[in-house]
Amino acid sequence: MGRFRRAEPREEGPPAPSAPAPPAGAIPPRPRLEVGWATDVGRQRGHNEDTVLVVELEQAGYHSTLPTALLVLADGMGGHLAGEVASALAARTAARHILQACLTPLPLREHSASEPSLKELLTEAFQKANELVTERVPGGGTTLLCALVLGNQAYIANVGDSRAYLISPEGCSQITRDHSLVDIMIELGQMTVAEAAHHPQRNVLYRAVGQRGPLEVDTFFCHIPPGGVLLLCSDGLWEMVSEEEIAHVVTTSSSLQEACDALVEKANQAGGKDNISVILAAPPEIAGSEVHLLER
């Protein structure tokens, strides 16, 4: 049964037995994030240059935390092994920096003026990833997309054209912006979205990890509504499968892992022209929904 499907009418008959009451003093189950992910080489590439990194965190007791997950997706480029090395190095470097700051201490609590905000933390992590990739993988580069999910809130950072979407009962909405040449041309009115889909330079990026000099990082904050799902993916998915199809798969699958596997299969059925990676995350159901660019 999918996440947003309306319950089917029940046939007439004797009432179903009620679930047994929990024993007195039983500890209620802790709310947990649901996470699924998948990555695949596709049908036309010789090796997979994407990197997916998922870390789930829970802490009970003193300074108990909200259900937390760090989701990182990177799509490497550069030929030979440069792309896959760049994506792996960027993902691991960013994740290490974020996790170290989150665990000592968790930045959600009261912090001093000397401690970075979550926006600053994500930006610093991307800058460190950019420095290392530039130094150690000459000629290589990668997109980098990261989401730190805390309960029903997601703090997102992005460079390149890997995308984050919010899928809810209202539909599928893109959170991030592509840093591609065709995206600039669309914004300037020089090209339509339909034309961009077939443009020979549609995969040319003007911003990516591995570029020399300071790296500008987009940061976003997103409240995930009840029943909502956060989706991160490489262009190997969104170029091959429409947003409508993506939303349909997610909302009709019985689990997020099943949805990830089905999305990869759909991208391959459509031609699998690139590596395909996707991460899905759904929080415990807490009210609230908002998406906006964090203050710079």
Cα–chain center distance at 140: 22
pLDDT of residue 5: 46
pLDDT in tens, 67-116: 899 999 999 998 667 999 999 999 999 999 999 988 765 444 444 555 57
In a domain, 167, yes or no: yes
The tens digit of pLDDT for each residue in 219-263 reads: 999 999 999 999 999 999 999 999 999 999 999 999 999 999 999
5 located within any domain: no
Query: Which residue in this structure is represented by tokens 């760090």?
Result: 70
Contacts of residue 137, defined as CB under 8 A and 6 or more positions apart, other chains included, come to: 78, 82, 85, 86, 89, 210
Domain total of the chain = 1
The answer, yes or no, to whether residue 288 has pLDDT greater than 50, is no
**Angle made by CA atoms 67, 71, 74, in degrees to the nearest 5:** 175
Percent of the chain with pLDDT over 90: 61
3 in a domain, yes or no? no
* Dist CA 166 CA 230 (whole Å): 5
Q: Which residue has the higher pLDDT, 214 or 136?
A: 136
Residue 138 falls inside a structural domain: yes
- CATH number of the domain residue 121 falls in: 3.60.40.10
Q: Which of the 8 DSSP states describes residue 23? A: P
At 130 the pLDDT is 97
Assess if residue 153 is contained within a domain: yes
26 found inside a domain: no
Separation of alpha carbons 63 and 106, rounded Å: 9
Residue 176 domain flag: yes
Higher-scoring residue by pLDDT: 163, 201: 163
146, β-bridge pairs:
72, 157
**Structural tokens at position 266:** 């759909």
Does 87 fall in a domain? yes
pLDDT tens digit sequence for 114-166? 557 899 999 999 999 999 999 999 989 999 999 999 999 999 999 999 999 99
**What's the pTM?**
0.84
Q: Residue 127 belongs to what domain range?
A: 34-293
What's the pLDDT at 162? 98
